[in-house]
Structure formats: C-alpha cells, structure tokens
Amino acid sequence: MPDGPTASERFLNGILPENPVYRQLLGMCPVLAVTAAMLPALTMAAATAFVLISANVIISLIRGQLRPHLRILVFTLTIATFVTIADRFLAAYLYEMSKVLGPYVPLIIVNCLIISRCEICASKQTVRVAVADAVGMSLGFTLALVSIATVREVLGSGTWLGLRVLPEAWPNWGIMVLPPGAFLVLGLLLAGVEWWGQWRAERAALAVASVSRSLQGQSGGAAREEEASSWKA
C-alpha cells in the first residue's frame, strides 16, 4: 500500500497507539504548564486542535507546490498565523481564560507536535487523510491534557471542572497545583502507561508462545523438549 495507513487508521493511531504525549513525548510544555485545573487544560487543547487542524488542511492543500527547501518556512508562517488568530479570539471572547493561559497560547507556535504532523503527514497526504490525522492527534493530545489535569485538580483542589468531587474535609494537596506536581504526575502517568504497554506485550508474547507450543506439541515431543530448553535459556 503506497499511501501507508488509511484515514481511519491514522485517526485511531493518534488517540492511543501513537499518543503525542505518552508515546511521542511531544508538546510537553503546555502539558505541564496549563494542567493545574481542567478548564485551562481544555481551552489549551481546543486552541491546539484549532491550530493543528487548520495548519494541516492548508499544508495539505498546497502540498503539490511546496519547494522542499522552503517548506519549514511555509509551515512556520502558517502555524504562527493561526496561533495569532486563536490568541486574539481567546482575548476577545474568553478574556479571563486568556489571562490564565498567558504566554502559553503563543507558545503553541513552537509545539513540536504541530510541525511534526505537517512534516510527516499533511505535506504528503490528501486533505481527507490530513484532517483525520489532525483530529486523531488533537484528541490524543486532549486525552493526555485531561488525564493529567484530572489528577492534579482532584487531588490539588478537591474539584473537577470546578465541581466539588471530594468532601470539604479533603486536605488539598497544594503541591499538585504547583510546578513540582506537574512533573510528578506526568512522570507517574508515563510510567503507568509504559507499565501497561509492557504488561500487554508480555501477555501477547506468552500467548504466542503457548500457541506455538501447542502446535509443536502436535508435531512431536522432541520439538517440545527443544522449546522448553530454549525458554530456560
């Protein structure tokens, strides 16, 4: 297949198997900086999704005319323009939130996630595939932001999206909403995802091994002996 994964595969890929934060470690700066509470995290995710999808569409539309040595220039120009638009919209319609996010909205320009999607996918694929890829990646990024913000807001303030979920008696873990909390939560969640991946890989390996063993069991005892000794080694 010359085109690589199809649109729907790319869409699903972005959400979990190639999650931009947990798998590719891209765009760490907003992941750490704006996740002290759910609301700024969601706003940040929406702004990033807007920029990512718009930039992917534009780059995919002009991909036939792109000169290789000018492509990074075009990517940067496109991303910076859409980030400016997103920033102005936030300042006009969600003024309080734009004050909370502060410089992290313009910092979307240097979010490696967007430029890497332009380079890897949008500049080579049709608009349909590029949009599917961008939406999938945005959802994956949102998922990551939301998961971290959930842990930090619930433990740090006893609320979720501003609603109280833990009893008033809960002693707020101040550290969670402070910078160190961001590092600790992300580190532990990354380790959790990694552990889950390893556990699944091990189980899959065991399943393959048992299937092959049972197949070999039918063909003869000698092969089984050999298999067992190789497992011991």
d(CA 52, CA 1): 26
Q: What are phi and psi of 187, to 5 degrees?
A: -60, -45
d(CA 21, CA 116): 13
Residue 159 bridge partners (DSSP): 164
Task: List residues near other proteins by CB under 8 A.
Answer: 25, 28-29, 32-33, 62, 65-67, 70, 73-74, 76-78, 80-81, 83-85, 87-89, 91-93, 95, 99, 103, 106-107, 109-110, 112, 115, 156-157, 172, 174-175, 177-184, 186-188, 190-192, 194-195, 198
Give the residue with the Cβ less far from other proteins, 99 or 128. 99
d(CA 75, CA 73): 5
Q: Are strands 159-160 and 163-164 parallel, antiparallel or unpaired?
A: antiparallel
Give the residue with the Cβ less far from other proteins, 7 or 51. 51
DSSP 5: S
Give the residue with the Cβ less far from other proteins, 120 or 191. 191
Report in angstroms how near the CB of residue 143 gets to other proteins at its nearest.
Answer: 18
d(CA 23, CA 16): 8
| Helix, strand, coil share of the chain (percent; to 5) | 80, 0, 20
Report in angstroms how near the CB of residue 146 gets to other proteins at its nearest.
Answer: 18
Give the residue with the Cβ less far from other proteins, 39 or 109. 109
Give the residue with the Cβ less far from other proteins, 74 or 129. 74
Report in angstroms how near the CB of residue 179 gets to other proteins at its nearest.
Answer: 5
Report in angstroms how near the CB of residue 129 gets to other proteins at its nearest.
Answer: 21
